[in-house]
Structure 1
Amino acid sequence: RQKMTDLLAVGFTDTWRYFYPDVTGIYSWWSYRFKARQNNAGWRIDYFITSKALDDRLEKAEIYTDITGSDHCPVGLTIK
Structure 2
Amino acid sequence: MDYKIDLHVHSNTNPHVFSTIKENAEYASEIGMKVIAITNHGPALEDTPHWWHLLNVRIVPDYINGVRILKGVEANIVGENG
- TM-score, normalised to structure 2, is 0.24
- TM-score, normalised to structure 1, is 0.24
